[in-house]
Amino acid sequence: MAQRSLLLLVAPPLLLMGLPRWLVDRLTRPAIVDGILGALTRPVVATLLFNAAVVASFVAPAINGEARSGAIAAGINLGLLAVATLMWIPALRTIPGERYLSTGGRAGYLMVQAILPTFPALVFIFAQHPLYSAYAQAPTTLGLSPLLDQQVAGALAKVAGLGILLGAAGFFLLRWHHAEEDGSDPDPLLWDDVERELRRLERRSRKTDSPN
C-alpha cells in the first residue's frame, strides 16, 4: 500500500513538475497527442478514469494476481501511474493550452480526489476477514496477522490520500487568498498557452475549409 500511495500521489506530481515546460510543449504538440490528452484530462473524465482504475486495482483477482506474478504487478503499476498522471494534470496545469481550472477550482478538484478513493481504504479497515487469499496464506510480516496487516494498509492509504491531496488543495486555496489580497493573477496566461490554442484554431479552420 505504501508503494501504491507513492505511485498515485507522489510520483506523478513530482514527474510533472520536474519536466521542463518546453519539453512538455514539444512532446504534446502533435495534433493526435494534443487531442487525446485534451479529452482525457478534462476534470470529469480524469476523475472517473482515476477512481475506476483505483477501485479496479483493489478487486481480489487484481491483488492476488499482482502478489503472484511480477509481470501482472508491473502492468498494474504502470497503468496506475498513467491514470494518476492524467488525474494530476488538471490540478498542476502542466500542458500548454489546456482548458485550465481556476485556482479555487483546482483546490475543489483535489478535494474530490481525496474523498472518493478513501472508500476502498474504509473497506480494508472495517473488513472482518482477509480479503485476498494471496496475503491470507502468506507468512506473517512483523508479527502482524493478515487481517491486522490489511487494516494497517487501509489506514495508511486513507492517511496518505487525505494528507497529500488535501494538503495540495490547501496550498492552492492559500495561493488564491494571497493573490486576491495582492490583486495579482495566481496563474497568469503564458505565451505557449496562446500559441497552443492558435494551433488548435488553425487545425479546426483547415478541417472546415477542406472539401468533403
Domain annotation covers residue 14: yes
**How far apart (Å, rounded) are the C-alpha atoms in residues 135 and 12?**
28
Q: Where are the alpha helices (DSSP H) in 97-145?
A: 103-115, 118-126, 133-136
The answer to whether residue 89 is domain-embedded is yes
Question: Which residue range(s) make up the domain with 68?
Answer: 2-185
- Non-local (6+) Cβ contacts of 112 within 8 A are 47
pLDDT per position as a tens digit, 162-177:
899 999 999 988 888 8
- How far apart CA 118 and CA 129 sit, in angstroms, is 19
Q: Which residue has the higher pLDDT, 11 or 153?
A: 11
- The one-character DSSP state at 10 is I
d(CA 63, CA 59): 6
Residue 204 located in a structural domain:
no
Domain presence at residue 148: yes
How do residues 100-155 score in pLDDT, each as one tens digit?
788 888 899 999 888 776 677 888 888 888 888 877 776 776 777 888 888 888 88
Asked, for residue 175, whether it belongs to a domain, the answer is yes
Q: List the grid coordinates of 62.
A: 487484481
| Three-state secondary structure of 71-111 | HHHHHHHHHHHHHHHHHHHHHHCCCCCCCCCCHHHHHHHHH
Does 17 reside within a domain? yes
pLDDT category at 210 given cuts 50, 70, 90 is low
Element (H, E) at 207: helix 191-209
Number of domains in the chain: 1
Is residue 79 in a domain? yes
In a domain, 58, yes or no: yes
Q: Does 40 have pLDDT greater than 70?
A: yes
Nearest to 55, CA basis, from 121, 9, 103: 121
Residue 132: the pLDDT is 82
Could you tell me where the DSSP H helices lie in 139-190? 146-182
Residue with the three cell numbers 484530462: 41
Task: Please compute the mean of the pLDDT values over residues 76-91 and round it to a whole number.
Answer: 94
